[in-house]
Amino acid sequence: MFNNQLITVILEPSLYTVKAVLILDNDGERLYAKYYDGTYPSVKEQKAFEKNIFSKTHRTDSEIALLEGLTVVYKSNIDLFFYVIGSSHENELMLMAVLNCLFDSLSQMLRKNVERRALLENMEGLFLAVDEIAGFLLHKQVCLHVYLCWYDLFYKASFHPQVLQSAKEQIKWSLLR
């Protein structure tokens, strides 16, 4: 049997499942970048990372790369390159789902005209799409955290009335945080 408290600690709610979302043009210049942790704290470091990613991926047909200890999933379309970056141990399928969700949302918003000019004219829609996707990921991780706390309380403890009352209180406070 596994230790759920260890899992609870590892799956603490965080936006850092996705470390960054990038959109570069076909020259490797930044059109959009959102970093969710302090991996690259300065703009200079971010730009160097983006240049490195672009140089390693812009001529390949693959969709996944490991670069600087990070998992990078990417997609190109006409004159844009879309990147979703996670840690090296992150699930590539989950990162690809985030990438596809972003691309499909933009495709629908831009009426299938996903190219540089149309994107620059609709940046507010891009900001909204990325924020909604990040919020959805955070919500799912919070739900998982609450579920694991529930499991720890009810399936590891006997069903004594005081334990049940304590569980109710902890769940209430978890949801109110």
Count the helices and strands in the chain (H runs, E runs): 6, 5
pTM of the model: 0.70
Helix, strand, coil percentages (3-state) for the chain, rounded to 5, are 55, 20, 30
Own/partner pairs, 155-164, CB within 8 angstroms, 24+ separation: 156/4
pLDDT digit string, tens, across residues 57-78: 988 888 999 888 999 999 999 8
**Averaged pLDDT for residues 147-175:** 58
CB distance 82 to 103 below 8 Å: yes
Q: Which pLDDT score is estimated for 36?
A: 86
Q: Which pLDDT score is estimated for 51?
A: 96
Which CATH code is given to the segment(s) 20-139?
Answer: 3.30.450.60
* Domain residue spans of the chain: 4-10+143-176, 20-139
pLDDT digit string, tens, across residues 105-150: 888 888 888 899 998 998 888 888 888 887 766 555 555 555 555 5
Residue 97 CB neighbours (<10 A):
15
Answer yes or no: is pLDDT of 94 > 80.
yes
Give the Cα separation of 19 and 50 in Å (integer): 13
pLDDT digit string, tens, across residues 82-92: 999 998 888 88
